[in-house]
Amino acid sequence: MKKNISRALLALTIAGAGVLSAVQPTVALAAVPAQQKTQVPGYYRMQLGGFEVTALYDGYVNIDNKLLKGINGKDAKVLLDKMFLDSTNGVQTAVNAYLINTGTNLVLVDSGAAKCFGPTLGGIQNNIRAAGYTPEQIDTVLLTHLHADHSCGINEQGKMVFPNAVVYASKADADYWLSPEIAAKAPEEAKGLFQMAQDSVAPYQAANHFKVYSPGDTLIAGVEVVPTPGHTPGHASYLFSAKGQELLIWGDIVHSHSIQFAQPEIAMEFDTDSKRAIETRKKLFADVAKKKLWIGGAHLPFPGLGHVAIDGKGYRWVPVEYSPVMVAAGK
Ligand SMILES: [Zn+2]
């Protein structure tokens, strides 16, 4: 029976091919349209309990492998090869921010680099709009730290991009990056970072919209500050909790997903205190893997949402799978 059907199909196919080839010369083929050369908008939505989480893409930078400390080029290549990454021109590294609608607040965590780091970055404002919101609607901005790729996006030509928002940073980071005395003593190549941090927050300070907090302070409902120092003195992560589901937005705990999950002891040149950054990373990996927390990472491949899993002596990154937004994410 099956054989007969196959034969019948084959006969039909051959007949069809004959018809096609017979008419082909008289059919004018439509021109293939031009390639679109555009990408989907840079946002991704996830439901977390009653909260709506929107990952926002700012852009990317190519990070030179030599900025990783504690690993030689050969060992780094083995790990990069595993992820099909070529480091010839540096490794593409995303810059992400997160917009959380808690139902009570519209909260932006980090704000991208705006124009501080070149043309491959600065997409946050466009992607906020693409995601259905406006910068004016945001009432709270939580900065994980005061590096320019996180703070420059709050300022455009000296004006507040989020005029109705209170911008929060940790006191330890503000005391460091906003101090003219520390900036004056900094090495010449680091002075620009201090200047960019000071410029970013200046209009908010002038409008009394900039606030610093200390560990243990409550900022808004549903969010807990988790101090994660090392990368900068007051680097902080933010734990969002809704109906038993939790998401930790951890800023710069990882810069190189291909290397630092496997080897958390590898540091990054930009760390203010590498030793402390490594301790924080190791402790946090163990903790979030055990608790199976959702993670949002500023420099993980967009949307930077997923989980950390134990893998042998190290860890691995398990990214979120595309999901219709109406489906609530599991734990
Ligand atoms: Zn960063």
Q: How many Å apart are CA 126 and CA 148, to the nearest integer?
A: 18
Q: For residues 28 and 41, give the distance between their C-alpha atoms in angstroms, rounded to a whole number.
A: 36
Strands 140-142 and 166-170: parallel
Burial (CB < 10 A; 0-12, 13-18, 19+), residue 35, is exposed
User: How many A from CA of 42 to the centre of ligand 1?
Assistant: 18
Q: How far is CA 148 from CA 55, 116, 143, 187, in A?
A: 19, 7, 11, 17
Residue 12: what pLDDT?
41
Alpha-carbon gap, residue 322 to 326, rounded angstroms:
12
Distance 306 CA to ligand 1 centre (A): 18
- Compute the distance from residue 59 Cα to the ligand 1 centre, in Å: 12
Separation of CA 149 and ligand 1 centre (Å):
5
Q: Find the 221 Cα to ligand 1 centroid distance in Å.
A: 26
Cα of 181 vs centre of ligand 1, distance in Å, is 23
d(CA 80, CA 90): 11
3-state helix, strand, coil in the chain (%, to 5): 35, 25, 40
pLDDT at 26: 64
Distance 72 CA to ligand 1 centre (A): 23
Residues with CB under 5 Å of ion ligand 1 are: 149, 252
pLDDT at 22: 46
Q: How far is the CA of 113 from the centre of ligand 1 (A)?
A: 9
Tell how far the Cα of 150 is from the centroid of ligand 1, in angstroms: 6
Q: What is the CA(148)–ligand 1 centre distance, in A? A: 8
- Give me the pLDDT at residue 325, please: 78
Handedness of CA 304, 102, 217, 285 (dihedral sign): negative
Cα 297 to middle of ligand 1, angstroms = 10
Q: Would you state the structure tokens that stand for residue 51, as one six-digit string?
A: 């909260």
Phi/psi for 51 (5° steps) reads: -90, 145
Residue pLDDT tens, the chain, 331 long = 444 444 444 444 444 444 444 445 567 788 999 999 999 999 999 999 999 999 999 999 999 988 999 999 999 999 999 999 988 889 999 999 999 999 999 999 999 999 999 999 999 999 999 999 999 999 999 999 999 999 999 999 999 999 999 999 999 999 999 999 999 999 999 999 999 999 999 999 999 999 999 988 999 999 999 999 999 999 999 999 999 999 999 999 999 999 999 999 999 999 999 999 999 999 999 999 999 999 999 999 999 999 999 999 999 999 999 999 776 666 5
CA separation for the pair 302, 74 (Å, rounded)? 27
Residue 176 Cα to ligand 1 midpoint, Å, equals 16
Are residues 237 and 290 in contact, defined by beta-carbon separation less than 8 angstroms?
no
Q: How far is the CA of 270 from the centre of ligand 1 (A)?
A: 9
The CA-CA-CA angle for residues 123, 257, 295, to 5°, reads 70
What's the pLDDT score for residue 21?
Answer: 46
Q: Which domains, from first to last, does the chain contain?
A: 41-319 (3.60.15.10)
End-to-end C-alpha distance for the chain, whole angstroms: 50
- For residues 160 and 209, the answer to whether their CB atoms sit within 8 Å is yes
Ligand 1 centroid to residue 32 C-alpha, Å: 42
